[in-house]
Structure 1
Amino acid sequence: MNTYSRILFVCAGNTCRGPMAATIMQQFVQDMGILTDSRGMVVLFPEPYNPKAVAVCAGHGMIMPSNSAAQLENTDFDNNTLVLVMNQSMKQKIYESYDRAINVYTLGEFAGAGETEIADPYGRGIDEYNQCFEQLYVLIEKAAEIIRKNMEEEKDDSNRQ
């Protein structure tokens, strides 16, 4: 398993699930020197993050950066970047649309939760945003454990050499 210096979360418009996921993951990997960020599959203009997503993160003691939506680009892919998406169709679309796509997994797949899909709460109430946050949190906690374990194993391997 590869170790990564950057984790990129990709959702539809980069205003809700991706930014929430990047904010959550940052809590788990900030001591590992890993950067977290998010991108969207279709971003027509740089709109601000969804206020409900920002409020839900704040309600859990996490401050979402005040960035605006950004489009996924071919330059976002490299050997040191882990790309986590919300569902299988996004993963497939990325591999079809980006010739440099590499290290792309669904969040559920990477976290060992199989075909778990993260529903988009866009246009719904605050309860749906909270449910989305909770689902992301559980999967990201598992994914962060895997990343930490891989980094420790790689460090152990290099110490043995």
Structure 2
Amino acid sequence: MKKYDKLIFVDSDDTDRAPMASAIMQKKYLLSPLKVCSRGLVVLFPEPVNQKAEAVLVSNGLTAKEHAATQLSQEDISGKVLLLTMEEAQKEKIRTGYTNALNVYTIAEYTGVSEDVAPLYGAPLSAYGKCYETLEALINRLVIQLNEEELKK
């Protein structure tokens, strides 16, 4: 029996880091299928992905062109959903603001890394490139971890 059915990357507004993480993860190989998406903690309307994030994704052979920012809702949370945030404060906001939010971690925490994924608000394109590299490394670790958990069953 699979531990998780769904993986949600969570960011502040679901326009840059979380959609990039989702796009990267969707191209990875997992031993068991896992629905992957992203959500935001404060989404006022369905914005597209940040242009700089999309440029970095495209330069790496990916896209989030069809992405529209979506608010994290109580319906997104269940025991079979893994929620990975970019920052510790986002994790705490979910734990205190949603019921039954049991599987909530920062992506760094879940993969055994010490640093959060830095916010990108107002950052230059080069920072988005660096963020992509950070997310790629974290997600590579995540894929190994999820596949190992699947093999242990």
Q: TM-score, normalised by structure 2?
A: 0.93
Q: Which residue of 2 aligns with 1:39?
A: 39
RMSD: 1.4
Q: Which residue of 1 aligns with 2:135?
A: 136
Query: Identity over the aligned pairs, expressed in percent?
Result: 36
Contact 1:3/1:147 (CA < 8 Å) preserved in 2? no
Larger Cα-atom Rg: 1
Offset of residue 79 of structure 1: 1.6
Equivalent pairs counted in the alignment come to 152
Segments of structure 1 that go 5 or more residues without pairing to the other structure are 155-161
Q: Which residue of 1 aligns with 2:104?
A: 104
Contact 2:10/2:41 (CA < 8 Å) preserved in 1? yes
* Aligned counterparts of 1:102 and 1:65: Cα–Cα separation in 2: 31
- The 3 A distance-change label for structure 1 pair 31 and 59 is farther
Does 59-68 or 17-26 show the bigger shift? 59-68
Secondary structure in 2 aligned to 1:84? strand
Offset of residue 63 of structure 1: 2.2
Structure with the largest fraction of helix: 1
* Aligned counterparts of 2:151 and 2:76: Cα–Cα separation in 1: 25
Offset of residue 102 of structure 1: 2.0
Contact 2:31/2:150 (CA < 8 Å) preserved in 1? no
Q: Deviations over 1:54-106 (max 9, x none)?
A: 11011111122512100011111112111000111111111111113120000
Q: Which residue of 2 aligns with 1:151?
A: 150
* Aligned counterparts of 2:76 and 2:146: Cα–Cα separation in 1: 19
Q: Which residue of 1 aligns with 2:85?
A: 85
Does 28-37 or 129-138 show the bigger shift? 28-37
* Aligned counterparts of 1:88 and 1:29: Cα–Cα separation in 2: 27
* Aligned counterparts of 2:112 and 2:60: Cα–Cα separation in 1: 24
